[in-house]
Chains A and B, each alone.
Chain A
Amino acid sequence: MNDEEILKLLELTICSEHSPEISDEVADAILSRSEECPPEKTARVRARFVEKVILMLHPLPVREINAKWPLGRWFEAIRESLRLTREDVAVAIGKEVIFVERLERGEVLPWECEPNEVAELIRLFRLHLNAASQLVNNSAAVNQVRGVRSAAARSRGGHASSERGDSTKRALEMFLAHNAGPAKPEDAVSEWLDALRLALRRRGLNELVD
């Protein structure tokens, strides 16, 4: 074997699964090279990462929802199960974190948002319109029983916190909505769902509509 052949084989070996294990020193040296990364690329990379993580969970659109959760709570549960932050979701849909936060917490109702904005979330979470409609109707049911007072709750350790009060309030609302039975669909909600359908179609997301 001449030198040229050895070098060629060395190159093939190192880029193959037969390569000897990479040591910390080698990895450190290669990774210490500085690579230019403009902020827009950082945001794009993060958005694509979030899409890939969700795509892995939902390779096919989610068509059925068993939970009686409002739309925002469903987004929150999926996000949390994937260990993603609200900021991750906001970057992936090109919105501010506050938008995601308010929708998740039920501080803003789906039909109070622009259909285009919610369509982006539905695209990201791969939610079929039928399932989205069901969740929006759950949001309507919760909204009907919603109280104006805040809940106070304390943990077993005895510490009261607004976070705990908030989650208790949301749980109570969902419980009451569940017992109240299906909400009468309001015209505004139905119209909004039609607009959502159009927004999804305009994005070419037919698999989430048909």
Chain B
Amino acid sequence: MATDRIPGSIQAMPGTGVIHDIGYQSYEGRRLGRLAIVTALCLHSLRSAFGFGRGVKAKIVPALTFVIMCAPAVINAVAMALNHDHARLVSYDTYVGTLRVLVTLVFVAAQAPELVARDLRSRVLPLYFARPIRRSDYPTAKYAAFVLACLAMIDLPVLLLYIGTILQVHGGSEVWAQTRAAVPGLLVGLMWAVLLAAVGLALASVSGRRAFSTGSVAIFLFLTWTLVGVLSRISVTSSGGSSASGPGGVVRVTGAAHLFGLVSPFTVLDGVRQWLGGTSPGIVSAPGRYGVAYGVMLLVFLGASLAGFFLRYARTDVG
């Protein structure tokens, strides 16, 4: 130490400087790689999609939507118990069509911004990208997380339905039949999660303001959904059929009116389900020979959303 003649001051003598060794040590240990970073980011995002790690208020909307989604499963179990012929009210692959659409819509619109808007608003993206990851790793982690979140939101109620049903049926063959029926339902849920997570994140990442993001997602999904319903009803009544009540009622349409369903991601998903062989009546009428168009539209929605989302973070001036 270089101080030996200092009259009661705590500064170094004028003209000299000293760097004190206060024991700083650099880290020489093992460093986890890119995969660990992406996994950690994914897990963190998954938790924030349900409001974990934030205050109580952040959990209200996810909790409410999940409870409402599970309600048909619970009601079905109760109804089956009361009504002894064990007929299942709710089907695995469509669940309760309109309810699933609306509740999933709220979840995606409310929670997609939780994953992406906060980072944009508080400008922490440069901190993320200063780590040894690629640009595309961030959106990959976010997308994976949100797909898992939506999957939980959609398929856990289906699982609940399945469990509630097999608890009430007797005989191994019945259980097996239920299982065989449930699996396509779960896969449909996966399809929903994959598409809606992409659409939700793509729209939510446009703005850093959470309210704006929620508004954009809500407008797109709800507007298109209601539009399809109304236009289908109108084309039915104009061709002399009877209209169902509510925008999500089962409707039989003819001809080119099938194409209305291409406008909304929800009806596209249901159209693809029916095209792939799903037989339960859903939220859109069977596409028939337009099935291919629905398949293509699904890929278009998915591709455009993912492209938009990934490109958003590829810009050098992001954050």
Partners in one complex: no
A-contacting residues of B (Cβ < 8 Å)?
Answer: none
